[in-house]
Amino acid sequence: MNLLVTGGTGQLGRAITRLGSAQHQITAPGSAELDATDARAVASAIAESRPDLVIHAGAMTDVDGCEHDPKLAHRINGLGTQNVAAASASAGTPIVYVSTNFVFDGSLERPYLEFDTPNPISLYGASKLAGEHAVSSLNPQHYIVRTAMVYDETGHNFVNSMLRLATQHPKLTIVDDQYGNPTYAGDLALGILQLIQSGAFGTYHVTNAGTASWHEWAVKIFELSGVETPTEPIPGSQFKRAATPPANGVLDNMAAAGLGIELPHWHDALERYLHRRSELAG
């Protein structure tokens, strides 16, 4: 397939290029080359490259930054997605829209299914949900893929931050009452590449299997990396930040499992990631 991937310089965009290029012809511009908020540029990129499918992974992902600049969050994640959805629909091209567990409020006492009702409690979640609405109303050939807690080798993410902070502080306090599914971008990319072969348009949750709080995740990162910096679990109420993550941000991947798409457990993914990270560091 000929794939156009927005957010090509991001964690997921790079992973899709890394893992999908043997099978697919992939064009993956960053925001400087293709700004989703520029409707004309998006329309001409799709008209010129005539992709078989567009993966819209580009987004404003700075969750706290979205609280500080709601208009920019909505412009990039809402309007930008509307532009990509409308242009792909005009060209008769299917779209994958990558969304987030932050569309849920986290109050449910079980993992969130694809068909549970979103009710975002953050600007980031609200702006990504606006993107979901744009995609589902404008392009009938859509896959909405919600994921969570994504990390990759070169990205700004929790794993890399923890490993850095562990070298800078004698002890770390980490939130222990907010849960999700840590997800390796490489596994997510493979899941999406499998999903687009299905033709089964709809809404999917795609994460590594298993769940963790931020503290449990950090403990595993340190255990697998041989880091001995002590950690203290704290409630989210003691960690001041602009955005409030859902307390229960855990996704149930029921719909993807129905297609035979099931990602490995996050422990396994983290181990592979750390191995690759140390290989890349030489």
Ligand X SMILES: NC(=O)c1ccc[n+]([C@@H]2O[C@H](COP(=O)([O-])OP(=O)(O)OC[C@H]3O[C@@H](n4cnc5c(N)ncnc54)[C@H](OP(=O)(O)O)[C@@H]3O)[C@@H](O)[C@H]2O)c1
Q: Which positions are catalytic?
A: 124
Which residue from 3, 4, 5, 6 is in contact with ligand X, where contact means CB under 6 A?
6
Told to check if 31 binds ligand X by CB under 6 A, we report yes
Q: Name the residue among 224, 221, 148 with its Cα closest to residue 188.
A: 148
Residues 124-143, mask of contacts with ligand X (x by CB under 6 A): ----x---------------
Number of residues that bind ligand X (CB under 6 A): 30
Told to check if 76 binds ligand X by CB under 6 A, we report yes
Q: How far is the CB of 135 from ligand X (least distance, A)?
A: 12
Q: Which stretch binds ligand X (CB under 6 A): 1-9, 88-96, 235-243, 253-261?
A: 1-9
Told to check if 13 binds ligand X by CB under 6 A, we report yes
Q: How far is the CB of 190 from ligand X (least distance, A)?
A: 15
Which residue from 53, 66, 98, 261 is in contact with ligand X, where contact means CB under 6 A?
98
Told to check if 65 binds ligand X by CB under 6 A, we report no
Q: Which stretch binds ligand X (CB under 6 A): 5-13, 193-201, 226-234, 270-278?
A: 5-13
Told to check if 100 binds ligand X by CB under 6 A, we report yes
Told to check if 87 binds ligand X by CB under 6 A, we report no
Minimal CB distance residue for ligand X: 10
Specify whether the CB–CB gap between 100 and 204 falls below 8 A: no
Told to check if 30 binds ligand X by CB under 6 A, we report yes
- Near ligand X in 153-192, by CB under 6 A: 155
Told to check if 35 binds ligand X by CB under 6 A, we report yes
- Rounded Cα distance, 144 and 75, in Å: 19
- Rounded Cα distance, 6 and 178, in Å: 29
In the complex, the residues that contact ligand X under the rule CB under 6 A are 6-13, 30-32, 34-37, 57-61, 76, 80, 98, 100, 128, 147-150, 155
